[in-house]
Amino acid sequence: MPVDSPAELEEILAYDTIAVVGCSSTPGKAAHDVPKYLLEHGYDVIPVNPFADEIFGRDVYDSLADVEAEIDVVCIFRPSDEVSEIVDAALERDDVAAIWTQQGIRDDEAAARAETDGRAVVQDQCMKVQHRRLVA
């Protein structure tokens, strides 16, 4: 069952490093503004987008597999039909504790696989909204 209680959401929001799959270089898009907000609130944001070289003055990685740093949370800004392969890539890593799909994005089968593998899953919720509500 995906995480939705305030206490469980706060636990995930207490992690430091967030890889944002689908991070955008275009201001005004949620996939840009939400990670920028997280960066401004102390998170180590790792942009993942095969079509960009730099976002927020940071190097951008083509895939989760290319990220050498430890990742606590994978935040997904891609269409629901792409979530399954992103979750599989996250499950290949031992360091990912949680997978978070942004508002309007969900894949129940992928979420179940992640939960079976011991990862926390948040679906169809905005990380910025939850941070403002529970932490800020």
> Looking at residue 88, which CATH number applies to its domain?
3.40.50.720
Tell me which residues of the chain have a pLDDT lower than 70: none
pTM for this predicted structure: 0.96
For 22, what's the count of Cα atoms within 13 Å in the CB-facing half-sphere?
19
Identify whether 1 is part of a domain. Answer: no
78, part of any domain: yes
Read off the pLDDT of residues 9-44 as tens digits, 9 standing for 90 and up: 999 999 999 999 999 999 999 999 999 999 999 999
Residue 82 sits in which domain range?
Answer: 6-134
**Structural domains counted in the chain:** 1
Distance, in Å, from the CA atom of 61 to the CA atom of 50, rounded to the nearest integer, reads 7
Q: Report yes or no: 102 and 75 within 8 Å, Cβ to Cβ.
A: yes
Q: Give the Cα separation of 53 and 5 in Å (integer).
A: 36
CA distance 105 to 14: 22
**pLDDT value for 1:** 74
